[in-house]
Structure 1
Amino acid sequence: MARIISSNEFIENVENSKGIAVVDFFATWCGPCKMLAPVFEEASMEARGKAKFFKVDIDASERIAEKYGIYAVPTMIVFKDGKPVENLAGFMPKQNILNKINAHL
């Protein structure tokens, strides 16, 4: 299950973490973000044990969004061992998200 994390939690759970982490950068006012949310949740359930899933509110964590060049939402970034390896912009089906994760396992 994906959870919303703060900037400090981002450093601990994503940047200083081993393995795969998928981060959904979103905004509460974003329509496509709301469409992606249940798909992202389903992907997190199916990939349990393979990857960790987090959400970052770009309005509450502006520095993290700026650091990773998030200028449009939703944007997902796949991290491997704390480094970004894949950017996924816009809404996408669950299977596409899972395929991108599996490519980095």
Structure 2
Amino acid sequence: MAKTFNEDNFDAEVLQSSEPVLVDFWAPWCGPCRQLAPVIDQLATEYEGSVKVGKVDTDQNPNLAVKYGIQSIPTVMIFKNGEVVNQMLGNQPKANLQQALDAAKG
């Protein structure tokens, strides 16, 4: 199951993480976000121990959405060593997300 990231824990969980982190920026009213949710949860299980996988509700965490320039959702970002190393807009196939995670694990 994907973690829940918010404005209170984002720095510690994402920016200071020693492992790559996939962050799904989403909102409950977003249809494509709901379609992507099971894929995000699958990735959380498959990559447990090597990559953190979590979600940010942009309605509940507007400051994070502004900070990272989120203008459409879903947006998936992959962070490594506190920096964005990949960004994908829209509902992505699982294979695209896996490829990006594998590259980030390097």
- Superposition TM-score tier, normalisation by shorter sequence: over 0.9
Match for 2:102: what amino acid?
Answer: N
Q: Name the structure 1 match of 2:28.
A: 28
Q: Name the structure 1 match of 2:10.
A: 10
Q: In 2, distance between residues paired with 1:81 and 1:20?
A: 7
* 2:58 maps to 1:55: no
Q: Name the structure 1 match of 2:69.
A: 69
Match for 1:37: what amino acid?
Answer: A
Match for 2:11: what amino acid?
Answer: I
Report the Cα offset of residue 92 of structure 1: 1.2
Please give the residue correspondences for 1:70-89 in structure 2 after superposition, counting only pairs within 5 Å. Answer: 70-89=70-89
Q: How many residues align?
A: 105
Q: In 2, distance between residues paired with 1:41 and 1:94?
A: 11
Relative to the length of structure 2, the TM-score reads 0.94
Match for 1:68: what amino acid?
Answer: Y
1-10 vs 30-39, which moves further: 1-10
Could you list the structure 1 runs, at least 4 aligned residues long, displaced by more than 2 angstroms after superposition: none
Report the Cα offset of residue 5 of structure 1: 2.1
Preserved contact between residue 44 and residue 54 of structure 2 (Cα < 8 Å):
no
Identity of aligned residues (%): 39
Q: In 1, distance between residues paired with 2:16 and 2:46?
A: 24
Report the Cα offset of residue 54 of structure 1: 1.0
